[in-house]
């Protein structure tokens, strides 16, 4: 018996909250994606699996089971090609990752750090090149230096300055 609650008191009047039945409405949002996924992935995958187990021509198919796979693995040229492809894929993927990480470490090092002695990229991008003011004819850098504006495609240098003088 619970403290402060008499047996039978309030048992008849207490109602449990009604549980809402889940709506089917959200599932309609999944339907277009499921149809597209089925048409573009599931159906071609199942068709490929079916055709891999048959010897077929345009008009008929004969079920041969795993005969195509047995024939494939007994052909020395095809197995050699598969091995060379796998070796190439593993080596090039590994080389890309290693070289990318090495380049990222070298480029992220600051000018004074020992890692940056090979590439002094930190010296190339300092705060001096941050633009503080930009007009039609010149740009002002953070240290106060002024740099002439480069004409845009097909625009002559005189046309760019003539427009500023007219204003």
60-97: per-residue pLDDT in tens?
889 999 988 898 888 888 888 989 999 999 999 999 99
Q: Residue 56: count other Cβ atoms within 10 Å of its Cβ.
A: 13
Residue 134 domain-assigned (yes or no): yes
pLDDT at residue 164 greater than cutoff 50 = no
- Asked if residues 54 and 60 have their Cβ atoms less than 8 Å apart, the reply is no
Residue 19 domain-assigned (yes or no): no
Residue 13 domain-assigned (yes or no): no
**Closest-CA residue to 127 (of 111, 149, 107, 116):** 111
64 and 79: one domain? no
pLDDT in tens, 94-142: 999 999 888 877 776 655 555 555 555 445 444 444 545 555 556 666 5
Last residue of a domain, one of 70, 88, 103: 70
Domain count for the chain, please give it.
Answer: 3
**Closest-CA residue to 111 (of 123, 128, 96):** 123
Strand, coil or helix: what is 46? Answer: helix
> How far is it, in rounded angstroms, from Cα 4 to Cα 120?
79
52 and 62: one domain? yes
Strands 146-148 and 138-141 turn out to be antiparallel
Residue 3 domain-assigned (yes or no): no
Residue 17 domain-assigned (yes or no): no
87 and 104: one domain? yes
59 and 87: one domain? no
Give the structural domain span for 120.
75-125
- Asked if residues 37 and 44 have their Cβ atoms less than 8 Å apart, the reply is no
Instruction: State pTM to two decimals.
Output: 0.39
81 and 119: one domain? yes
pLDDT at residue 20 greater than cutoff 70 = yes
What would you report as the CA-atom Rg of the chain, rounded to the nearest whole angstrom? 36
Residue 30 domain-assigned (yes or no): yes
**Burial label, 26 (beta-carbon count in 10 A; 0-12, 13-18, 19+):** exposed
Q: For position 73, what pLDDT does the model report?
A: 84
**Burial label, 143 (beta-carbon count in 10 A; 0-12, 13-18, 19+):** exposed
51 and 81: one domain? no
> How far is it, in rounded angstroms, from Cα 65 to Cα 85?
26
pLDDT in tens, 36-59: 999 999 999 999 999 999 998 888
84 and 108: one domain? yes
Residue 57 domain-assigned (yes or no): yes
110 and 145: one domain? no
Residue 18 domain-assigned (yes or no): no
């Amino acid at each position: 018996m619970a403290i402060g609650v008499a047996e039978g008191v309030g048992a008849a009047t207490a109602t449990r909250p009604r549980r809402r039945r889940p709506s089917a409405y959200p599932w309609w949002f999944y339907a277009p994606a499921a149809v597209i996924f089925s048409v573009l992935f599931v159906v071609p995958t199942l068709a490929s699996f079916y055709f891999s187990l048959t010897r077929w021509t345009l008009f008929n198919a004969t079920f041969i089971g795993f005969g195509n796979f047995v024939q494939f693995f007994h052909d020395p040229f095809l197995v050699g090609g598969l091995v060379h492809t796998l070796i190439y894929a593993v080596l090039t993927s590994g080389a890309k990752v290693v070289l990318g990480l090495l380049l990222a470490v070298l480029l992220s090092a600051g000018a004074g750090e020992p890692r940056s002695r090979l590439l002094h990229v930190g010296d190339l991008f300092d705060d001096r090149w941050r633009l503080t003011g930009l007009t039609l004819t010149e740009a002002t850098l953070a240290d106060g230096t002024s740099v002439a504006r480069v004409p845009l495609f097909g625009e002559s240098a005189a046309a760019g300055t003539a427009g500023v003088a007219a204003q």
